[in-house]
Amino acid sequence: MKHLIAFAAFGLLVCFTSCGPPAVNREKEDALPADSVIPEKKMASLLVDVHLLEGGIAILRNKGEQERKWNQEAYRKLFLKYRVNPAQFKRNLEYYEQDPKVFTRIYDTVMVRLNRLRTPAAGKD
């Protein structure tokens, strides 16, 4: 299970960072208005849930039970929980990628939380 979470986390990171132009080439006018920036703590929590959801989707896919409609509904509910839409999520991800120190800090928090979730099952692998 721990390998699945690490694989899903890495896969999502690669997917999200490869969507769109490199952050280095982004200009300042692309910055988000202050009222549309998802706070770091909320973004970290959202990313934890995204990784958990993606892990669940991967398990279903491996069992041959993946259903695209279910995936879309799961993401709809997840974004509803955090009161964001997919476009806001993507824009904020791109926004945080512009500052590698902040992005790394957020992902360090995400990884700590994910590792904490797997700790009780550590001896069961």
Residue 58 covered by a domain? yes
Residue 61 covered by a domain? yes
Torsion of CA 101, 106, 107, 110, to 10 degrees: 160
Q: What is the pLDDT of residues 29-85, one digit of tens each?
A: 456 777 689 999 999 999 999 999 999 888 888 887 767 778 889 999 999 999 999
Residue 31 covered by a domain? no
Q: Tell me, what amino acid is at 50? A: V
Q: How many domains, in total, are found in the chain?
A: 1
Cα gap 56→4, rounded to integer Å: 10
For residue 69, the enclosing domain spans: 2-20+39-124
Residue 87 covered by a domain? yes
Say what the pTM is. 0.69
Cα gap 56→100, rounded to integer Å: 28
pLDDT value at position 30? 56
Residue 29 covered by a domain? no
Banded pLDDT at 122 (limits 50, 70, 90):
low
Cα gap 68→84, rounded to integer Å: 21
Cα–Cα distances (Å) from 87 to 1, 12, 31, 56, in that order, read 30, 16, 14, 22
In angstroms, how far is CA 11 from the centroid of its own chain?
A: 10
Q: What percentage of the chain carries pLDDT values higher than 90?
A: 49
Residue 57, both tokens: 């989707």
Confirm if 53 and 82 have CB atoms less than 8 A apart. Answer: no
pLDDT value at position 66? 65
Residue 44 covered by a domain? yes
Residue 64 covered by a domain? yes
Residue 51 covered by a domain? yes
